Amino acid sequence: MFAVVKTGGKQYRVVAEDTLKIEKIAGEVGDFVELSEVLMVGEGADATIGAPLVDGAMVSAEILSQGRARKVIAFKKRRRQNSRRTIGHRQHHTLLRIAEILTNGKKASKKAAAPKAAAPAKEKAAPEAKATPKKEAPKKETKSAAPVPGEPMFAAPKGDPDKLTDIKGIGPVAERQLNEQGIMTFAQIAALSAADIARVDEYMPFSAAQIEDWQAQAKEKTK
């Protein structure tokens, strides 16, 4: 049996145990959510089509992850006006696993993972036994720290700023955005680390490829 559900302004055909990526919905990983906008349910001659929704129908799903899609770059240029505008966007999404398709007003049976039971006391090591050293878990890569609202991402150097529009691809708008975040000189762009580039890619409307291109040009200007 399948169902057609509507969420985030889009329609999806789902069956039990399907994985589905949709527009972001609220919830933590492991939570169960209910998709109540069911447009059609059933199969073949037994299919029921809603008008517009099917009464008493619902789809239960488990949240597998919350994430964001790859950055999309929109670039606009006006001829002979020295006007360029670059905007970056990363769409939030939620990955679901379809648990149940319910009809006739039935309620979902949530199957959340049961908590692990504590080990019985007799299994604990005796006081005289030497405890075996635990292996250290590999350190996870941490995401770059989010900028503090109202404060620049980088410390602006003293002295006069460079004219960043001399770098091909940086227009007046991009220059202003870089200046607002403390990037004022060619030397700063040339000295950006891989972590800095990833941070700019994450929190500013510029891609890592753009920054790397600007960095190569900045290094030429600082020789």
Domain ranges of the chain: 2-78+88-102, 164-221
Residues 66, 29 contacting (CB under 8 angstroms)? yes
pLDDT tens string 116-143: 455 555 555 555 555 566 666 655 544 5
pLDDT score recorded for residue 116 = 46
User: What are 211's two structure tokens?
Assistant: 């920054």
Count the residues in the chain.
Answer: 223
User: What are 101's two structure tokens?
Assistant: 């398709």
Within 8 A by CB and 6+ apart from 178, the residues are 164, 170, 184
What's the rounded mean pLDDT across residues 193-199? 88
pLDDT tens string 107-117: 877 754 444 45
**Alpha-carbon distance 55 to 102, whole Å?**
11
Closest among 165, 209, 212, 166 to 189, alpha carbons compared: 212
User: What are 61's two structure tokens?
Assistant: 């799903």
Choose between 185 and 129: higher pLDDT: 185
Backbone angles phi, psi at 197, to 5 degrees: -65, -40
CB atoms inside a 10 Å sphere around CB 169: 15
Residues 28, 64 contacting (CB under 8 angstroms)? no
Q: pLDDT class for 79, splitting at 50, 70, 90? A: confident
**Alpha-carbon distance 197 to 216, whole Å?**
13
User: What are 23's two structure tokens?
Assistant: 């527009």
**Average pLDDT of the chain to the nearest whole number:** 83
Beta bridge partners of 102: 58
Domain 164-221 belongs to what topology? DNA polymerase; domain 1 (1.10.150)
